[in-house]
């Protein structure tokens, strides 16, 4: 599915404006460097999320196994049957003891889900950071930075011109409300 189908008209205008400036202001080498940098960023975030979610899953599974081992060891440990007092008297210990049950399957599912999700989030953020650094190095190495900055500057100028035209075209209170509603729609 093309992402352009799920965006508003204003977002489509901005996307078309970006496409225009990328095609008009940048060379093929600059576009290739930007595409390579974008792929690096996505790959680093994806791999980071995969690795850390796997670590989270392994930690949850291992933790669950350790809890089970502790309960088995506690269950099989010899329990005292009587206490010997200082005066030599033997007092029997009740057989009830501690009535601790092993955690059920839901606690294992929840802890596994929590640790896997936490690993995914942390790993994606670390991957995003490393991907950003890798993309930055790629752009500095393969693209003309002054041309990229000029293209971005021209894009911002065109965006501000569009917004100014929209504001000047709607000077009534209803028009301003429409501009505010359009701006809210931009972020949805």
What are 57-67's pLDDT values in tens digits? 999 999 999 98
Predicted pLDDT at 1: 44
Q: Chain centroid to CA 99: how far?
A: 42
In this structure, are residues 60 and 116 in contact, taking their beta carbons and an 8 Å threshold? yes
Which residues, including other chains, have CB under 8 Å from residue 120's CB and lie 6 or more apart? 49, 52, 53, 56
Helix intervals (H) in the chain: 9-25, 28-76, 105-142, 145-169, 173-187
Residues 61 and 125 in one domain: yes
* pTM exceeding 0.85: no
Residues 23 and 53 in one domain: no
Whether 45 is in a domain gets the answer yes
3-state SS assignment for residue 84:
strand
Whether 67 is in a domain gets the answer yes
The yes-or-no verdict on residue 142 having pLDDT over 70 is: yes
Residues 34 and 63 in one domain: yes
Residues 155 and 117 in one domain: no
Residues 57 and 112 in one domain: yes
- Determine the Cα–Cα distance for residues 63 and 82; give it in Å rounded to an integer: 34
3-state SS assignment for residue 109:
helix
Per the structure, the complete domain to which residue 56 belongs is given by: 28-75+104-143
Tally the domains of the chain: 2
Residues 1 and 15 in one domain: yes
């Amino acid at each position: 599915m093309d992402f352009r189908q799920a965006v508003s008209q204003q977002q489509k205008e901005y996307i078309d404006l970006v496409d225009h400036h990328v095609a008009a202001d940048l060379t093929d080498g600059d576009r290739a460097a930007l595409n390579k940098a974008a792929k690096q960023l996505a790959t680093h975030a994806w791999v980071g999320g995969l690795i850390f979610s796997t670590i989270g899953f392994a930690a949850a599974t291992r933790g669950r196994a350790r809890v089970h081992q502790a309960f088995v060891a506690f269950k099989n440990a010899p329990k005292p049957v009587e206490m010997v007092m200082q005066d030599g008297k033997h007092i029997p210990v009740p057989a009830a003891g501690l009535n601790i049950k092993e955690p059920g399957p839901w606690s294992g599912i929840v802890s596994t889900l929590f640790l896997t999700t936490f690993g995914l989030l942390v790993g994606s953020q670390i991957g995003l950071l490393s991907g950003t650094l890798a993309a930055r190095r790629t752009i500095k190495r393969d693209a003309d930075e002054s041309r990229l900055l000029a293209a971005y500057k021209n894009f911002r100028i065109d965006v501000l011109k569009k917004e100014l035209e929209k504001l000047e075209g709607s000077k009534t209170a209803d028009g301003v409300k429409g501009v505010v509603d359009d701006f809210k729609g931009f972020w949805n």
